[in-house]
Amino acid sequence: MLQRIQTIYFIIVMAILASLLSGVEIFTMTDGEMNFSQTVFGVERQSVKGGYIEWMGQFEYAYLFVIVYVMLVFLAMMSYKSLKRQYTLSKIVLFIYVLFVLAILAVTSFGINGYSPKEITGIHVGIGFYLLSGGLPFAYFALKGVQKDKVLLDSLNRLR
């Protein structure tokens, strides 16, 4: 199992997604007076001039999504005995990963304001967004590795 390259890619994707659970900042929105920092655990509000930091009271389910998604990637990695199932799970992993990155990109690009009654004046992406974007090619490479194994086994089955 470990000698297959897609296993390494799956491990990298799981490590990148699990790093989001350390509380790294995905993006920050500013309305002139307050900074709103988004992590997978929720939103943190801080005065622009410094000073107090307040955890906003809304409960976010993003961390549960990340945990379930890491488990899905692990399931895709461990289902190497059934290549058809691994290929299907790899496609699902890549599709959900692309949707997750596009959703964060849409929020940051359009400045969707759910934090402040004022207009958002600045948006800054954090290290968490770069981690997510950097993990996307590894999910794609994992899918391609599974696809190569599937093609190889199909050609071997035709020879029998």
Give tens-digit pLDDT for 108-152: 777 676 666 777 778 888 899 999 999 999 999 999 999 998 888
pTM for this model (two decimals): 0.84
- Contact between 75 and 15 (Cβ < 8 Å): no
DSSP codes of every residue in 77-112: HH-TT-HHHHHHHHHHHHHHHHHHHHHHHHHHHHT-
Domain ranges of the chain: 5-154
> Under CATH, what is the fold of the domain 5-154?
Butyryl-CoA Dehydrogenase, subunit A; domain 3 (1.20.140)
- Contact between 30 and 48 (Cβ < 8 Å): yes
Residue type, 87: Y
The terminus-to-terminus CA distance of the chain in angstroms comes to 24
